[in-house]
Structure 1
Amino acid sequence: MAFLDLFVVALIPVLKTLLITAVGLLLAVPRVNILGDAARHHLNNVVFYVFIPALVGGSLADTVTATSLVSLWFMPVNILLTFIIGSGLGWVLVKITRTPEHLHGLVMGSCAAGNLGNLLLIIVPALCEESNSPFGDKLTCSANGQGLVSLSMAIGSVYIWSYVYNIIRAYGNLNGKDIAKASTISIDCSGKTLDMFTENYNEALLQSRHSSFEDCEAPDVECAEEEELSIVLEDEENKKVTVLTKIKLHVDAFSDKINLKMWLTPSTIATIVGLLIGVISPIRKVMIGDNAPLRVIDSSASLLGEATVPAMTLIVGANLFKGLKKSGVGLWLMVGILVVRYVTLPIVGIGIVKAAQHVGFVGSDSLYQFVLLIQYSLPPAMAIGTITQLFEEGESECSVIMLWTYGVAAISLTLWSTFFMWLVS
């Protein structure tokens, strides 16, 4: 494939994203004020609860079967490695650049989670359509590519809302309270309640001790013994309260940092449902296909899912309005994110995929290898913008990061796609 043709293939999806981002920015301008704070909040909830689950569940149900799931077992491992390695590099980056603590989670999430969905949905079929593509027959390549991309998108969504979500939440300076918009219930674990309990308990204990001393009319031996016993009991009770308080504080701090409820997000539930529909043959025959009795459910889910990418991108563009005026993303931090995403991760990915192929974890299918490789070279996931919007933390900075990473992705994706195609052909 000619370099210019590949450049156009890589440029089109990125250019679409940037154009929709510009529309979102325009809608957030005060003179227009269509995507103000309240509108972004409500649209973000619709994306979180409706659009993303419909996209993930519908794509999986349509394309994944029991046979393909077994043969593609290495893909979840590969994507998990991209998240772990990327977040590790992001942690090193924030330490080097001395990034403000409330942005640590955003930077680590941007380095960890790539756009494993909509970009691949455009790039992979476009590569299959090329006459000189190294992936064989067009129809076979397109069908197989759709299944690979759908599985990649679903797995990436699960990791984003279980791994990246909690990273951003842990560094978001939420001070023990969760965001109601994320549909979670949280108790204030700042320690104030426990401190008040300890103070009240000690006060009651001292009053009790004072009352017992008043009952002693003379400082005889019996009263002295009672006083000594009271002091010992007080020390023991204070020690117990202190230990219990410390244990309680540690447990509360852990539960505050890791929100286990978000492991079962709408997108995760949709992934489970989509896998069950695709893998269980009787259910699949009832819901999937032109002659399926309940095919209208699948069609409706697909229709809703198509709105996911435009809605998320509009939100990112609207948040960009604040970021253009003032942003906490410095030059060197932005350069570091670009280096992590477009230089370090792809090089690491080549070593991992080639090692997996050498030991037999990955077969000889060139398209499968290409998808595994390109998962290391994608710009940050748009869902990160949804997470920052949920927490109202770092929205403008996230938009600036998206603007620069997607702008550079036009060149980066072209170069890496060319090299990966040469590598697997």
Structure 2
Amino acid sequence: MGLLQLFITASMPVLNVLLVTGVGSFLAIDSIGILSKECSKHLNNVVFYVFNPALVATNLSKTITMESMALLWFMPVNVLLTFVIGSILGWAVIQITRAPKKLRGLILGCCAAGNLGNLLLIIIPAICKEQGSPFGDHDVCHTYGLGYASLSMALGAIFLWSIVYNIVRISSKDIEENNKNDHMQSEGHPILGETDKFINAVYSAIPIPDAESPSSSSEIKVSVWKKIREVVSSVCKSIDLKKLLAPSTIGVIVGFSIGLISPIRKALIGEGAPLRMIQESATLLGNGAIPSLTLIMGGNLLRGLRRSSISGWIIAGVILVRYVILPLLGVVIVKGAVHLGLIHPDPLYQFVLLLQYALPPAMNIGTMTQLFGAGETECSVIFIWLYALASVALTLWSAFFMWSVS
């Protein structure tokens, strides 16, 4: 297949996303008022608690088996690498642009967390439907592609709410503590940031024996383990397990359970399955996720048209990380893994792994900034630029990735 045909194939799903996103933005205009802030909130709740879990569970249950589990082990590693490398590059952007403290958590989050669920759930099925797709039969491509995208969404949610959530939380708390610093110091109180508190907790876990009152080694060990348990308990409390175990993650657990437990799979999956109506009903619910997500995304991006004092260099830095450096590193990592025999030779699977490095930031970062009140307007401005350029970047990278795996 020629590169021009691949470019056309890659551009169609991106154009589909842009058109539906445009409809969402239009409906969110104040004079129209259909997709108002309140309406968007309620629709987002339906998507979050109903549509997404149903979509994830049904697609994983169809594609995940004991055999496929052995083949998909590299995807969690790949997603973790996108977060780790993105965080390192985000830290470099902060150092180079000398970004203000209130934006540091936002920058790290935008560089680390890509939209690993929503866009893949839209792009992969659209590419599978194109006649020039290099991924073979449409039905097979659609089923397995949605399975890969659903797993990617679940992994992205886990890392997003465990890593980025706490980065933004700690960053916002450090800002609050710095704002109180002068007042507290004037009263003679010591100031401890989140990092200082954690370090002090770790150091306090190490007992220092008193030379004048020796204690037995067993007592020291008991004291050490007691302190370690206290530190681990403190860290676990700081992680919002309710967010970590999001409905989409629960959908993953259900999907894995159905796919891996043979009696349940036979009862639910297949034309002759006695309880197939449950799977079909869940599939019907899941089909509402993609259009709803795209409309919500269009409404949210409209907020980025507000004025903001964010530096153009910061926006350029995030664009460079997400659309140039990360995809190039992704090619090296994925192709290196293929060369070493770590990844099975399915072109669609390799394409999804590569695409995970070239996506715009996760939309839930905006939710986090609203939750902690740190850089809400700046987040919208970054999003409007990143998602506007996604039409070009995703098309070019998708075409190149398809060419490289075909």
TM-score interval, smaller chain? 0.7 to 0.9
- Residue equivalent to 2:25: 25
Partner of 2:244: 263
- Choose which of 374, 381, 391 in structure 1 pairs with 2:355: 374
Deviation per residue, 1:33-58 (Å, 9 max, x gap): 34444333333333332232222222
Moved more, 70-79 or 58-67: 58-67
User: Pick from 335, 342, 361: which aligns with 2:323?
Assistant: 342
Decide whether the 8 Å contact of 1:62 with 1:278 is kept in 2: yes
Q: Which amino acid aligns with 1:423?
A: S
Which amino acid in structure 1 is aligned with residue 91 of structure 2?
Answer: W
How far the C-alpha of 1:410 sits from its partner, in A, is 2.5
Do 2:3 and 2:403's aligned partners in 1 also have CA atoms closer than 8 Å?
no
Aligned counterparts, 1:122-271, within 5 A = 122-128=122-128, 133-136=133-136, 140-173=140-173, 258-271=239-252
Q: 1:410 aligns with which of 381, 391, 396?
A: 391
Match of 1:351 among 325, 328, 332: 332
| Contact 1:319–1:396 under 8 Å retained in 2 | no
Match of 1:296? 277
Partner of 1:204: none
Report the CA distance between 1:296 and its aligned residue: 2.7
**Structure-to-structure mapping, 1:65-84, within 5 angstroms:** 65-84=65-84
CA deviation profile, 1:281-329 (whole Å, cap 9, x unmatched):
1111212223323223223322333333433443343334443122354
Q: 1:250 to 1:25 in 2, by over 3 A?
A: farther
Q: How many residue pairs are counted as aligned between the two chains? A: 356
Quick check: 2:129–2:138 contact (8 Å CA) kept in 1?
Answer: yes
> CA deviation digits over 1:213-264, x for unaligned, max 9?
xxxxxxxxxxxxxxxxxxxxxxxxxxxxxxxxxx9x9999856753344322
| Secondary structure, aligned partner of 1:111 | helix
Look at both structures and tell me which one has the larger radius of gyration over its CA atoms. 1
Matched position secondary structure for 1:286: helix
The answer as to whether partners of 2:53 and 2:251 remain within 8 angstroms in 1 is yes
TM-score, structure 2 length as denominator?
0.75
Shift, 1:378, TM fit: 1.9
Q: Which residue of 2 aligns with 1:185?
A: none
Deviates more, 1:79-88 or 1:113-122: 113-122
Paired letter, 1:101: K
Q: CA deviation at 1:90?
A: 1.6
In structure 1, list runs of 5 or more residues that go unmatched. 177-191, 196-246
Shift of the 31–370 alpha-carbon distance from structure 1 to 2, 3 Å rule, reads closer
Show the counterpart of 2:289.
308
Equivalent residue letter for 2:157: S
- In structure 2, distance between residues paired with 1:126 and 1:314: 17
Deviation at 1:126, TM superposition (A): 4.9
Question: Given that residues 316 and 399 in structure 1 are in contact (C-alpha distance below 8 angstroms), is that contact kept between their aligned partners in structure 2?
Answer: no
Q: Which amino acid aligns with 2:405?
A: V
Inter-partner Cα distance in structure 1 for 2:276 and 2:91: 46
CA contact (8 A) 2:305 2:384 kept: no
What are the Cα deviations for residues 147-197 of structure 1, in whole angstroms up to 9, with x where unaligned? Answer: 333322332233223333333333344999xxxxxxxxxxxxxxx9xx9xx
8 A Cα contact 2:6 2:132, kept in partner: no
Q: Secondary structure at the match of 2:251?
A: helix
* SS of residue paired to 2:380: helix
Match of 1:218 in 2: none
Change (3 A) 1:76 1:5: same
Cα offsets for 1:98-121 (capped at 9, x unmatched): 334333333222222223334334
| Structure 2: tracts of 5 or more residues without a match | 177-183, 188-227
* Alpha-carbon distance, 1:353 to partner: 1.5
User: TM-score with structure 1 length normalisation?
Assistant: 0.72
* CA displacement, residues 384-419 of structure 1 (integer Å, 9 cap, x when unaligned): 344445556544433333332232222222332333
Closer/same/farther in 2, CA of residues 357 and 127 from structure 1, 3 Å limit: same
Measure how far apart 1:17 and its partner are: 2.9
Q: Tell me the distance in 2 between the aligned counterparts of 1:385 and 1:309.
A: 19
